[in-house]
Chains A and B, each alone.
Chain A
Amino acid sequence: MGLDIRVPIGLMFALLGVLLSGYGLVSDRAIYAKSLGINVNLGWGLVLLAFGIVMLLLARRR
Chain B
Amino acid sequence: MTLTSIDWLLMFVYFAFVLGVGFTLKRYTRTSKDFFLAGRALPAWVCGLAFISANLGAQEIIGMAASGAKYGIATSHFYWIGAIPAMVFLGIFMMPYYYGSRARSVPEYLRLRFDEKTRGFNAISFALMTVFSSGISMYAMAKLLQILHIFDAPFRALGLPPTYLFHVSIVASAIIVLLYVFAGGLSSAIYNEVLQFFLIVAGFVPLVYLGLKDVGGWSGLRATLPTAMPKSLFPFLVIMPGLIALAAHPTARATLQTTPGYAGAASISAETTTGAGLIPYKVSDTTGEIVRDQNGRPQLDYDLAVPVMLLHYFPAGLLGLGLTALLASFMSGMAGNVTAFNTVWTYDIYQAYIRPKAPDAHYLWMGRMATIFGIAASVATAYVAAQFNNIMDILQLVFAFVNAPLLATFLLGMFWKRTTGHGAFAGLLCGTAAAAVHHMSTLAEGAAPGIKGGLITVAHTYYSEMAQNFWTAIVAWTVCFVVTIAVSLATRPHPEDSLRGLVYSLTERPRDTAAAWYARPSVLAVGVLALTALLNVVFF
Contacts and interface: CB of A to CB of B under 8 A. Distances in A.
A34 B20 contact: no
A53 interface: no
A4 to B, nearest CB: 9
B94 interface: no
A17 B27 CA distance: 29
Given A34-B315, A35-B314, A3 B321 contact: no
A13 B210 contact: no
Contact of B194 (A9, A15, A31): A9
Contact of B46 (A5, A44, A48): A5
Contact of A24 (B206, B214, B314, B317): B317
A59 interface: no
Contacts, number: 94
A48 B195 CA distance: 13
A33 B370 CA distance: 49
Interface of A: 1-3, 5, 8-9, 11-13, 15-16, 19-20, 23-24, 27, 31-36, 38, 40-41, 44-45, 48, 51
A1 B42 contact: yes
A12 B195 contact: yes
B24 interface: yes
A13 B14 CA distance: 9
A7 to B, nearest CB: 9
29 contacts: A1-B42, A2-B27, A8-B20, A8-B21, A8-B24, A8-B191, A8-B195, A13-B198, A15-B13, A16-B13, A16-B14, A20-B318, A23-B6, A23-B316, A27-B6, A27-B316, A27-B317, A32-B315, A34-B312, A34-B314, A35-B318, A36-B213, A36-B214, A40-B317, A40-B318, A41-B317, A44-B202, A44-B318, A45-B317
Contact of A1 (B9, B25, B202, B252): B25
Contact of B313 (A9, A34, A48, A51): A34
Interface of B: 6, 9-10, 13-14, 17, 20-21, 24-25, 27-28, 38-39, 41-42, 46, 187, 191, 194-195, 198, 202, 206, 210, 213-214, 252, 255, 312-318, 321
Residue among A16, A24, A33 having the largest count of chain B Cβ atoms under 10 Å: A16
Contact of B28 (A2, A16, A31, A44): A2
A16 B10 contact: yes
Given A1-B187, A9-B195, A35-B313, A44 B17 contact: no
Given A2-B27, A5-B194, A36-B210, A12 B17 contact: yes
Given A8-B21, A19-B10, A41 B42 contact: no
B316 A16 contact: no
Contacts of A44: 202, 206, 318, 321
A54 B98 CA distance: 36
Contacts of B195: 5, 8-9, 12
A41 B213 CA distance: 16
B46 A9 contact: no
Contacts of B213: 36
A33 B252 contact: yes
A13 B202 contact: yes
Contacts of A5: 46, 191, 194-195
